Amino acid sequence: MLRPASPFELRRATADDLDALLALEARSVQSCWPEGAYARELALDHSELWLAFEQQTPGGPPSSRPVGFVSFWVVGPEISLLNIAVDPASRRRGLGRRLLDLAEERGRDRGGCVVFLEVRAGNEAAVTMYRRRGYLQVGIRKGYYADNGEDALVLSRELVEQAREDLLAAGPDDG
């Protein structure tokens, strides 16, 4: 069965994108990063920041305004997912999952083999997304979030296992 082409295009963020990124963050997350934090990420070799744009018509040019982003570090074997968000108007259309896939793929390409992330215990959308992707809870940080004292769940996924699943999904090799 043919799957419809994704209307989302992803690319690395640059300093020119910071204003649009901050506006997207303000629309999309419960608590924003401190001023200057994303600019600092752009200067770090081990950090990657990607933006998603939506095509306005099928196959047409992407919007100038980003509708999603993901930020992560790759240090040795560890990929740390720092932030991932999708504009409320663009949710439940596969973009969050696509950004997560991108972080995993890029991290693996850079030598990472395990992902770690923290998520608010009550963030049903994100927790469901991660669990469906195979993330397991490996810890809990009590009262971690300063704004409301909410706990953080520490989730993790081994990417070696993902590579095995991908091979199985691809089926037998005819060659």
> Where does this chain bind ligand COA (CB under 6 A)?
28-29, 84-86, 91-97, 117, 119, 123-126, 128-129, 132
Which of 78, 118, 150, 158 is the catalytic position? 118
Q: What letter represents residue 79's amino acid?
A: I
130 is catalytic: yes
Pairing of strands 78-86, 114-120: parallel
38 is catalytic: no
With respect to ligand COA, which residue has the nearer C-beta, 124 or 147? Answer: 124
Q: Could you tell me if 137 and 118 are in contact, meaning their C-beta atoms sit under 8 angstroms apart?
A: no
The CA distance from 54 to 67, in Å, is 7
With respect to ligand COA, which residue has the nearer C-beta, 4 or 111? Answer: 4
Q: Could you tell me if 79 and 156 are in contact, meaning their C-beta atoms sit under 8 angstroms apart?
A: no
CB of 86: closest distance to ligand COA in angstroms? Answer: 4
Residue 169 in tokens: 């999904």
What lies within 8 Å, CB to CB, of 105 at 6+ separation is none
CB of 38: closest distance to ligand COA in angstroms? Answer: 15
CB of 127: closest distance to ligand COA in angstroms? Answer: 8
Which positions are annotated as active-site residues? 118, 130
